[in-house]
Structure 1
Amino acid sequence: MNTFLLPDLGEGLTEAEIVRWLVKVGDVIAVDTPIAEVETAKSIVELPSPYAGVIEELHGEPGTTVPVGKPLITVGDPDGAAYRQEERAGSGNVLVGYGTDASTSSGRRRKPRSVVSGKKSAPVAENVPENKVPLVVSPVVRRLARDAEVDLRELTGSGEGGLIVRRDVEEAIAARLRTTQEPELVGSAPAGSGPVAAGAVGFGAAGSAGVGSGAAGAGAAGAGAAGAVAAGAVAARTGLPELRRVPMSGFRKAVVATLSRSRAEIPEATTWVDVDATALIELRESLRSATDSGPGLLALMARFVVAGLLKYPELNGYVDTEREELVQYDGVNLGLAAQTDRGLVVPAVAGAHALTTRGLDAEIRRLTGSARDGRLTQQELTCGTFTLNNYGSFGVDGSAAIINHPQVAILGVGRIIDRPWVVDGELAIRKLTQLSLVFDHRVCDGGTAAAFLRFVADAFENPASAFADL
């Protein structure tokens, strides 16, 4: 009998909330089988089990908050001897300070009667050829198969020793789509949810469309309907009955703490400018071809923002209040506000200053997909040095944003729409957008902030010339 305790999730986190169980009492699991999704103040993560056997007990219902070091599940040995999962390709664990111990890295596991891989048991027939056994090491692969309703028993692994890898599942999905003539491509985002839509209306001041973030750039829309409870009481101030009360999730608690700290500590100021983005749109279209979609619009914007931060590093740093020093970073980790089903998150492109525009585009697409799937790492959520927010994807023009503490500035991009504009003394219809920069007045004066904003605006208006200087 083994009890799996909630592991140390890193970043000083002391508890996690059970979002949903991926197993039930009586299920037989292998090492690294995902057993639960838990929500912390940083993100939602999938916990793989370090033990193999039969689930004897689940310690807590969905919505329960479990402290680090307290029991999650109890696992019994089904046959009197533990078996281990094949580990030659690595466990794929996503937790900081937690993983399968070294003793599981070699040797073959004994075949159990059934192995839980996600929502239901997947029986494994006896005397099945080894390359037919669904050896799935990565939790990401298991989740991909589960979400797409792919039966792993029907796949032949192309990895070492018959290991089922991501491409095997993706090929199975693609084959099914071709059969059903499904128009949506495998791995593609829903319409409007690609990288250009990665910006998000966040949690600003009351009545504003501001942008906020959680501690480390994570937000959430609250506990949701599942966590809501009917209130019934009548509010004394308004005389109206309460419709419901929704407990704050770990995400929301972090949002409250971080945004309150940002408002309390940072003497912020805002500057904005209208920009003719016609040439930027034209450049984006010119990069398309029949075989290559080219870098997305957000990647082009990111390229110019990064260049501006290298030129004006005052906006790419933080305030060390204890030592009374202004710190500037040697390099840029560009945060990108992204709205997901679970709320606002701000993952960062690490080392953005060292990437080409195509490299930025690839990384933005990867982060967007990870954000949508709830699979961002804590490092990706905490390492940002400056935030770019494309709130224009929500059809708004401006924002009274809140800086993502401990960063010192955030740049917002409004929607790009046709508007009348004077060009060479003549009235013309152009593609206009608005850029707004909120900055910490402790790190620089208005002149520096305006110079940075003007640099980015000029790059938007004359992108070809700007690229020539990069």
Structure 2
Amino acid sequence: MTAPTTRLQVFNLPDLGEGLTDAEIVRWLVGVGDTVAVDQPVAEVETAKAVVEVPTPYAGRVATLHAGNGQVVEVGTPLITVEPLTDPAAETYREEERAGSGNVLIGYGTPEGPTRGRRRRPRIPAAQAPTPTAPPSPAQATAPKPAASGSAAGRTTVHRVVSPLVRRLARDSGLQLADITPTGPDGLITRGDVLRAAAAAVDTPTTLSAPATPAAPSAGTGERRTPLNGFRKAVAASLSRSRREVPEATVWVDVDATALWELRESQRTPTDPGPGLLAYLARFVVAGLRRYPVLNARLDTERDEIVEYDHIHLGLAVQGQRGLVVPAVLNAHTLTTDELDVAIRDVTGRAREGRSTAEELAAGTFTLNNYGGFGVDGSAAIINHPQVAILGFGRMIDRPWVVDGEIVPRKITQMSFVFDHRICDGGTAAGFMRTVADAIETPSSLLRRI
């Protein structure tokens, strides 16, 4: 009898929502010859909104990767081709995976329970690595690795990995599968293999090479050209539109933040650092927007209407790995100062790593910009369209200040406010600025009212 022909399964790049039509491959999480399970992330892709993981709806062995790192793939075109598994043990695991698989959601995959979330990538200390109960035999330890696959420029040793949990553990530990010695049946990488390799990596110093850059010098011109990625193109389009359409005005004021500084220091304990300064500033901004809701709005130019929001999604300008992004703390008006502190650290931390969600990047209704973190005093910022205003703070430093007729050192910061002159006049802008500035100079007066 003739053996049945293996049916290859082609997974096309799915619709990523938000009207997006393409995505750039940031990096592949699998290689040709790897074994994948249903809902296992196979690639990180970058859109104009965020970097997300794309899970595969098919289980099997990776046959083809249809694009390389840095290449743009159109929605609906092939992303990866998977060959169904024939190995009985792997087929059994595939059935278990299928039993738990639901709808494939970009960046999430199959739910694992209400506490599931994105994990950071810690190194696993050697002390935490379990002692293997069945160490590899000398024959296993010295056995040659399987033949390499791929091009000569990027040759990768193929090892069998059935469990996506093992693959994720390796990825979170910063390990390449080709560098892990398998001890499972037929060269299968097990969880213990990953833990041992992670412990060895902690004990062995490594030299990190500089990441490759897409910029390439043009021969004989002295130029270097770097293509705009999805993030940068989106930022450029938004800022250009803001400059074209918005008649913006800027006002600024120097603020004595000594009382706020002292309040923050008074909340510190040996076991609890308390809220950071940015959390207090966010609290004061929310209070100002509640008093002047026209600044928490957008302008509907087609209907000539100012659209005010009931909610405050506070955008935070963050310099991430892929450029400037403005993720938002959702429903900031419902959070206490302590809760704002936790949310701000979470949102900005993930943004710096390129892990903001599409919702966070698109939801902002007002932007707070802490450019003082870059060591500058002032900035005439560009409004983040379609918002109508942006508030910025410079560095907080000791300066001579007149208090009760005497010159004394105080903690001074410059606050600048850029607003769309179509939706309000200078009086409203000044009122909002003074609300925030007065709260900074006398925080106890505002905190008693909120």
TM-score by length of 2: 0.76
8 Å CA contact 1:50–1:99 kept in 2: the answer is no
> Which residue number corresponds to residue 334 of structure 1?
314
Does residue 421 of the first structure (1) align with residue 385 of the second (2)? no
Q: How many residues align?
A: 375
Q: SS in structure 1 opposite 2:165?
A: coil
Q: SS in structure 2 opposite 1:147?
A: coil
8 Å CA contact 2:41–2:109 kept in 1: the answer is no
1:379 corresponds to which of 359, 374, 382: 359
> Which residue number corresponds to residue 26 of structure 1?
33
Q: SS in structure 2 opposite 1:469?
A: coil
Alignment of 1:127-276 (within 5 A): 136=165, 142=169, 145-147=172-174, 226-232=213-219, 241-276=221-256
Q: Which moved more, 1:341-350 or 1:145-154?
A: 145-154
Alignment of 1:47-58 (within 5 A): 47-58=54-65
Query: Residue 260 of structure 1: CA displacement?
Result: 0.8
**1:350-394 Cα shifts (integer Å, max 9, x gaps):** 110011111111111111222133221100111000000100000
Q: SS in structure 2 opposite 1:303?
A: helix
Q: Which moved more, 1:446-455 or 1:71-80?
A: 71-80
Larger Rg: 2
One-letter amino acid of the structure 1 residue matched with residue 106 of structure 2: L
**1:229-249 Cα shifts (integer Å, max 9, x gaps):** 22125xxxxxxx232211121
> Which residue number corresponds to residue 142 of structure 2?
none
8 Å CA contact 1:332–1:350 kept in 2: the answer is yes
2:52 corresponds to which of 45, 49, 55: 45
> Which residue number corresponds to residue 125 of structure 2?
none
**1:58-112 Cα shifts (integer Å, max 9, x gaps):** 101222111100001100012078624547887796628x9569xxxxxxxxxxx
Query: Residue 343 of structure 1: CA displacement?
Result: 1.2
One-letter amino acid of the structure 2 residue matched with residue 385 of structure 1: T
Alignment of 1:432-451 (within 5 A): 432-451=412-431
For the residues of structure 2 that align with 1:457 and 1:410, how far apart are their CA atoms? 15
Does residue 95 of the first structure (1) align with residue 103 of the second (2)? no
Q: Which moved more, 1:40-49 or 1:64-73?
A: 40-49
Taking a change above 3 Å as real, the CA distance of residues 379 and 122 of structure 1, as seen in their structure-2 partners, is farther
8 Å CA contact 2:37–2:163 kept in 1: the answer is no
For the residues of structure 2 that align with 1:367 and 1:92, how far apart are their CA atoms? 26
8 Å CA contact 1:30–1:84 kept in 2: the answer is no
2:271 corresponds to which of 291, 299, 311: 291
> Which residue number corresponds to residue 359 of structure 1?
339
> Which residue number corresponds to residue 327 of structure 2?
347
1:305 corresponds to which of 256, 268, 285: 285
RMSD (Å), alpha carbons: 3.2
Taking a change above 3 Å as real, the CA distance of residues 250 and 426 of structure 1, as seen in their structure-2 partners, is same
Amino-acid identity (%): 59
Query: Residue 36 of structure 1: CA displacement?
Result: 1.4
8 Å CA contact 2:38–2:101 kept in 1: the answer is no
8 Å CA contact 2:40–2:109 kept in 1: the answer is no
8 Å CA contact 1:31–1:85 kept in 2: the answer is no
For the residues of structure 1 that align with 2:317 and 2:305, how far apart are their CA atoms? 27
One-letter amino acid of the structure 2 residue matched with residue 29 of structure 1: V
Taking a change above 3 Å as real, the CA distance of residues 60 and 85 of structure 1, as seen in their structure-2 partners, is farther
8 Å CA contact 2:39–2:101 kept in 1: the answer is no
For the residues of structure 2 that align with 1:401 and 1:392, how far apart are their CA atoms? 13
**1:317-372 Cα shifts (integer Å, max 9, x gaps):** 00000111011111211001111121111110111001111111111111122213
1:460 corresponds to which of 431, 434, 440: 440
**Where in structure 1 are there 5+ consecutive unaligned residues?**
102-113, 125-132, 155-163, 165-171, 181-223, 234-240
**1:117-168 Cα shifts (integer Å, max 9, x gaps):** xx987756xxxxxxxx95639x9x65872438899999xxxxxxxxx9xxxx
For the residues of structure 2 that align with 1:294 and 1:89, how far apart are their CA atoms? 41
Moved over 4 A (4+): 87-94, 98-101, 119-124, 141-144, 148-154
One-letter amino acid of the structure 1 residue matched with residue 310 of structure 2: D
**1:29-59 Cα shifts (integer Å, max 9, x gaps):** 1122221111111111121222111111110
**Where in structure 2 are there 5+ consecutive unaligned residues?**
1-7, 112-145, 147-155, 183-190, 204-210
One-letter amino acid of the structure 1 residue matched with residue 22 of structure 2: E
Taking a change above 3 Å as real, the CA distance of residues 389 and 88 of structure 1, as seen in their structure-2 partners, is farther
8 Å CA contact 1:230–1:245 kept in 2: the answer is yes
> Which residue number corresponds to residue 73 of structure 2?
66
One-letter amino acid of the structure 1 residue matched with residue 330 of structure 2: A
8 Å CA contact 2:252–2:417 kept in 1: the answer is yes
